[in-house]
A and B are shown apart, each in its own frame.
Chain A
Amino acid sequence: MGSMIIGLDVGGTHTDAALISHGQVANHAKVRTDYKDLYSSVMGALDQVLDGVDVADLARIVFSTTLATNSVVQGKEDPAALIISAGPGLDPTNFLPTRDYYVVKGGIDHRGREIQPINPEEIRSIAREIHENYLTCLGVAGKFSTRNPTHELDIKKALGDGFQYIATGHTVSGNLNFPRRMITTYLNAAIYRTHKMFFDAVDRSLASRKITAPIYILKADGGTMGLHQSLDYSAQTILSGPAASVMGVLGLAHTEEEAVVLDIGGTTTDIAVLADGVPLLEPLGITLGPYKTLIRALFSKSVGIGGDSCVRINMGKVTIGPDRAGPAMAFGGPQPTPTDARVVMGLVKIGDHDRAVAGITGLAEILKVRVEYAAELIVNTTCRNIVNEVNAVIKQINSQPVYTIHEFLEGKVIRPRKIIIIGGPAPHLAPRLRELFRTATTVPEHYDVANAVGAGIARTTTEITLNVDTEREVLYCPEEQRRENVSSNFTKKDAIRVAFELLTKRARRMGALEEKIDMELVEDMEFNIVRNFYTTGKNIRIKAQVKPGITSKFFA
């Protein structure tokens, strides 16, 4: 097998590709992203970095795309039906993402016990109705299905074989949160066809270029999964862009400290946080437009400050963004931007200098200052706004709730020691940001294609949840759809062993190729189940994951 890696990230403005060979960025490409034809943008960038490469030397190609994100943000996902079995509790229709929903009989409680059975006849009649509405993809989500998937599986069975794709709730995540499970299940169903058609096309093009290296897709949590496996988890590709950047930073600016990662792009700045060199995750999942999901993701806050943000004067003060009206005036845009300010200051020699000066002069006249001074003011305000946003993010993270005395006393507080900056404007804003943060700032090599590098070097990751109830003598792993009987003296140690076995198998199936998979326990809790003051069993809860990170080969 080859030793070269290609990472490719489709961003809002540019599509970046990087060719990595023996731990070095051997080639990279940047093309404008054409929303109407993402396929051409992707293949265009890919062909540029493939130039002169023997395809037999390729070890893998990893894609991070905005395909799923765009279709959801623009409300262009395919129509999909959703079947819900909720049992007692909040009215599920409060949270519905689609009008094609059916609330059916059936209920499961918090320990996975059946409250009310499902009615297969009801499901079969709904199946007929969905067919009549010409819907081919649908989701099935039940409350507490992560504790017992039987109802979801029985509903899926009763729906029959006539549908193109049926997504089930218990496989999207082991975490509890029924409204998010409904929405994530719906998204997996609604994005399925777009995702499949796009990657079938990419797959065919790669085959026609005689590329046989495995293809991976980047997830929002900074891990990858095999192309084939991704079909069942298409929603997990949503918002992989910020994850690509953070993974790139892990490879390009190795750090073991608490650090902030800033990806300053054209439209936005994405803020992520590393604790002891490990990226922080969103507690539950991504929020995208109206949707709160269970899609596991690196914590990232996107703020409307970028090189192309509109600069205005409001009550004698400079404001930046949050909107973008187009490219900088230096590139023919309609409104002055921080990029124009950088051009005026002579920090960069790009685009049309005169147009940039004209744009900034307009603002300088309102402020009644010299044009050079206005440009500096714009750059300073941009930096100060970024600093304020970062401080707000850190404050928010440090005020998150804790659930045990131990956690409270440990009281880990994030105090960043380093700011790592990537993205086009990085080197020009870094000195000012360093002054404002009074903290070391780093701009790593290849800062302008760190995202593509990150996609390329990210590990294949996955996670599992294991619930053991020794009173009821069952073990259940929702992600693996595994439910088996255990003896009443099954221990937490046994559970951890089983969890790592299942995790290893799952990671291999998802495409992990490393000899030794780097795994860790995320949660291991054990509680007594007591009846009438006697312990009758144990409730054991394990979460284990492949450690997110970069492939060791990158440093080889």
Chain B
Amino acid sequence: MKSNKKMGLVFFPAFDWAISPTHPEREERLLYTQDQVSEEGLLDIDGIIELRPSMADFSDIDRVHICVPQAQKVTTVSHLLSAGGAIAAADAVMTKKVDCAFALVRPPGHHAMRVVCGARGFCNVNMEAIMVEHIRHKYGRKRVAIVDTDCHHGDGTQDIYWHDPETLFISLHQDGRTLYPGTGFIPELGGTNAMGTTINIPLPPHTSEEGFIYVTENIILPILKDFQPDLIINSAGQDNHYADPITDMNFSAQGYAHLTSLLQPDIAVLEGGYSIEDALPYVNVGIILAMAGLSYEHVKEPDYDPVRIRQSNKTTDYIKEISEKILCLYGEAKCRRGLFIRERNSVTRERRIYYDTDDITEIQKEEITVCDKCAGTIVIDSRSDKGTICAVIIPRDACDSCTTEGRERFARLDRQKYDYVYLQDRVEDNYIREGRK
């Protein structure tokens, strides 16, 4: 048997890592998936190859995150291996060893924001962002689209790419009014310099195959076509499944495989999904087959019944309604961006961020320079139990004026006021952290 697309699979189930023994994010999360993948003989298919994960290093993390107090303190070996698994998948695709790749790794990362004081939503560092920035660092400038199909809003990835006009982030998830983290609403469209490159599709509880495929065909694919990405990344969370214990959706293995075949991601990275026995084994087999361009028509959960999980007509109508709204806002976003830039030199947002997994509260003030030439320099002021810090972020391919401004502002920072100050200089790939003098 031969696959139609050459596909790489990084399988790193971390059988020796858990948040706690009965936590959803525990040792055996991928055990039954591994059983199913092994028993189906997927790795014997000509064209599907298994890749060994590499280990990410701290510079890969510092390229994306501002870790308080530092990367070494907020991560474990498993995080470096999970990020390294995503990087191994990316390298295989970028070097054309394979056409596409799936990193079946844990722990997950899409709730990890730019500043990391601890773990939130089971996530410490953002695997997709670390991978994408590794790709840009190693293989040059790329337009990247990240499509997050986890049931929870990918608020971490959204935060990291909020100001980045070269990264399109689309999240489809259960409506934030009914599920953690309570964000990801339609008007969240991206920051000043990147308006329209963040798209949120909040779906009502009990959305089934019909609804997911509808928004994929009517929102995601047209926006992708418009954005013209060099790479499509899928944050492949699997907790929209009808059997998932911590969400309320009605998606299925057939549905995930269908969505994957429409999306045609270059790289998929596993995110959440906690129905470890009844959903994950089948969803993952479906995704792997779809990515490899093989038939997935017989991949079904033992209790799969499309009629039983079908969404109501009311749900269908509601989804059509929000879809129109999203497309309309997406169309207007470009004009709005122009309005913003004319009015101000910098834009500030202040937020309180709660790290539910580690019970930490952070108060954050973020100031971005309005710029029409680059993503704009960012200055972040953050206070939490882990310390008071200030970080200056000079984006990739920053214009001369933003680069100069960023370096000057870092030089001028009052070191006495903060426990740590950071310079994330993406132009020079230089990351500095200084403690209080």
On A, residues with C-beta under 8 Å from B are 87-91, 94-95, 107, 109-111, 113, 115-116, 143-144, 175-180, 292, 399-406, 408-409, 525, 527-530, 532-535, 539
Tell me if B140 counts as interface (CB < 8 A to partner A).
Answer: no
Task: Say whether B39 contacts A405, CB under 8 Å.
Answer: no
Task: Say whether B285 contacts A180, CB under 8 Å.
Answer: no
Task: Say whether B277 contacts A111, CB under 8 Å.
Answer: yes
Task: Say whether A403 contacts B11, CB under 8 Å.
Answer: yes
Of B14, B15, B40, B52, the contact of A90 (CB 8 Å cutoff)? B40
What residue of chain B has the Cβ atom nearest to residue A90's Cβ?
B40
- From B11, B78, B298, name the one whose CB has the most chain A CB atoms within 10 angstroms: B298
Task: Say whether B245 contacts A88, CB under 8 Å.
Answer: no
Task: Say whether A406 contacts B16, CB under 8 Å.
Answer: yes
The 11 sampled A-B contact pairs (Cβ below 8 Å) are A90-B285, A113-B302, A401-B12, A401-B51, A404-B15, A405-B14, A405-B77, A408-B81, A525-B15, A527-B15, A528-B21
* Residues of the B chain whose Cβ atoms lie less than 8 Å from the Cβ of A400: 52
Within 8 A of A (CB), among B226-285: 245, 277, 281-282, 285
* Residues of the A chain whose Cβ atoms lie less than 8 Å from the Cβ of B27: 527-528
Of A111, A404, A534, the contact of B22 (CB 8 Å cutoff)? A534
Task: Say whether A91 contacts B31, CB under 8 Å.
Answer: no
Of B10, B17, B38, the contact of A176 (CB 8 Å cutoff)? B38
* Residues of the A chain whose Cβ atoms lie less than 8 Å from the Cβ of B277: 110-111
Of A95, A532, A539, the contact of B1 (CB 8 Å cutoff)? A95
Task: Say whether B21 contacts A535, CB under 8 Å.
Answer: yes
Interface 1/0 per residue, B11-37 and A, CB below 8 Å: 111111100011010111001101110
Expressed in whole angstroms, the minimum distance between the Cβ of A280 and any Cβ of chain B is 16
Closest 7 CB pairs of A and B: A527-B28, A179-B41, A115-B302, A176-B38, A176-B39, A110-B35, A88-B300
Expressed in whole angstroms, the minimum distance between the Cβ of B303 and any Cβ of chain A is 9
7 additional A-B residue pairs with CB within 8 Å, beyond A403-B11, A406-B16, A528-B21: A87-B302, A89-B36, A107-B302, A111-B32, A401-B52, A402-B53, A527-B15
* Residues of the B chain whose Cβ atoms lie less than 8 Å from the Cβ of A88: 282, 298-302, 304
Bound state CA distance, A528 and B23, in angstroms? Answer: 10
Tell me if B295 counts as interface (CB < 8 A to partner A).
Answer: yes
* Residues of the B chain whose Cβ atoms lie less than 8 Å from the Cβ of A402: 12, 52-53
Expressed in whole angstroms, the minimum distance between the Cβ of A179 and any Cβ of chain B is 4
On B, residues with C-beta under 8 Å from A are 1, 10-17, 21-22, 24, 26-28, 31-32, 34-36, 38-42, 44, 50-53, 55, 77-78, 81, 245, 277, 281-282, 285, 289, 295, 298-302, 304
* Residues of the B chain whose Cβ atoms lie less than 8 Å from the Cβ of A527: 15, 27-28, 31
Expressed in whole angstroms, the minimum distance between the Cβ of A94 and any Cβ of chain B is 4
Of B44, B77, B299, the contact of A179 (CB 8 Å cutoff)? B44
What residue of chain B has the Cβ atom nearest to residue A398's Cβ?
B52
Task: Say whether A409 contacts B77, CB under 8 Å.
Answer: yes
* Residues of the A chain whose Cβ atoms lie less than 8 Å from the Cβ of B77: 405, 408-409
Task: Say whether B40 contacts A178, CB under 8 Å.
Answer: yes
A89-B298, A107-B302 as given contacts; A177 in contact with B81, CB under 8 Å: no
Task: Say whether B245 contacts A532, CB under 8 Å.
Answer: yes
* Residues of the A chain whose Cβ atoms lie less than 8 Å from the Cβ of B44: 177, 179-180, 292
Task: Say whether A89 contacts B50, CB under 8 Å.
Answer: no
Bound state CA distance, A554 and B383, in angstroms? Answer: 72
What residue of chain B has the Cβ atom nearest to residue A146's Cβ?
B39
Task: Say whether A89 contacts B14, CB under 8 Å.
Answer: no
* Residues of the A chain whose Cβ atoms lie less than 8 Å from the Cβ of B14: 404-405
Bound state CA distance, A109 and B299, in angstroms? Answer: 13
A110-B32, A403-B11 as given contacts; A177 in contact with B39, CB under 8 Å: yes
Bound state CA distance, A41 and B17, in angstroms? Answer: 57
Bound state CA distance, A525 and B32, in angstroms? Answer: 13
What residue of chain A has the Cβ atom nearest to residue B23's Cβ?
A533
Of B41, B245, B301, the contact of A177 (CB 8 Å cutoff)? B41
Expressed in whole angstroms, the minimum distance between the Cβ of A288 and any Cβ of chain B is 13
A88-B299, A95-B1, A179-B44 as given contacts; A408 in contact with B38, CB under 8 Å: no
Task: Say whether A530 contacts B81, CB under 8 Å.
Answer: no
Expressed in whole angstroms, the minimum distance between the Cβ of A259 and any Cβ of chain B is 24
* Residues of the B chain whose Cβ atoms lie less than 8 Å from the Cβ of A175: 38
Expressed in whole angstroms, the minimum distance between the Cβ of B5 and any Cβ of chain A is 16
Expressed in whole angstroms, the minimum distance between the Cβ of B129 and any Cβ of chain A is 22
* Residues of the B chain whose Cβ atoms lie less than 8 Å from the Cβ of A176: 35, 38-39
* Residues of the A chain whose Cβ atoms lie less than 8 Å from the Cβ of B245: 532
Bound state CA distance, A409 and B80, in angstroms? Answer: 12
What residue of chain A has the Cβ atom nearest to residue B274's Cβ?
A530
Task: Say whether A533 contacts B31, CB under 8 Å.
Answer: no
Task: Say whether B22 contacts A533, CB under 8 Å.
Answer: yes
Bound state CA distance, A470 and B40, in angstroms? Answer: 25
Expressed in whole angstroms, the minimum distance between the Cβ of B156 and any Cβ of chain A is 23
Expressed in whole angstroms, the minimum distance between the Cβ of A286 and any Cβ of chain B is 13
Bound state CA distance, A539 and B24, in angstroms? Answer: 16
- From A89, A143, A403, A534, name the one whose CB has the most chain B CB atoms within 10 angstroms: A89
Bound state CA distance, A18 and B298, in angstroms? Answer: 54
Bound state CA distance, A180 and B78, in angstroms? Answer: 32
* Residues of the B chain whose Cβ atoms lie less than 8 Å from the Cβ of A535: 21-22
Expressed in whole angstroms, the minimum distance between the Cβ of B289 and any Cβ of chain A is 7
A89-B40, A177-B38, A178-B40 as given contacts; A110 in contact with B281, CB under 8 Å: yes
A110-B281, A180-B41, A532-B245 as given contacts; A401 in contact with B50, CB under 8 Å: yes
Task: Say whether B31 contacts A539, CB under 8 Å.
Answer: yes
Expressed in whole angstroms, the minimum distance between the Cβ of B315 and any Cβ of chain A is 26
A111-B32, A177-B39, A179-B41 as given contacts; A401 in contact with B11, CB under 8 Å: yes
What residue of chain A has the Cβ atom nearest to residue B27's Cβ?
A527
Task: Say whether A178 contacts B52, CB under 8 Å.
Answer: no
Task: Say whether B36 contacts A110, CB under 8 Å.
Answer: yes
What residue of chain A has the Cβ atom nearest to residue B78's Cβ?
A405
Bound state CA distance, A525 and B34, in angstroms? Answer: 14
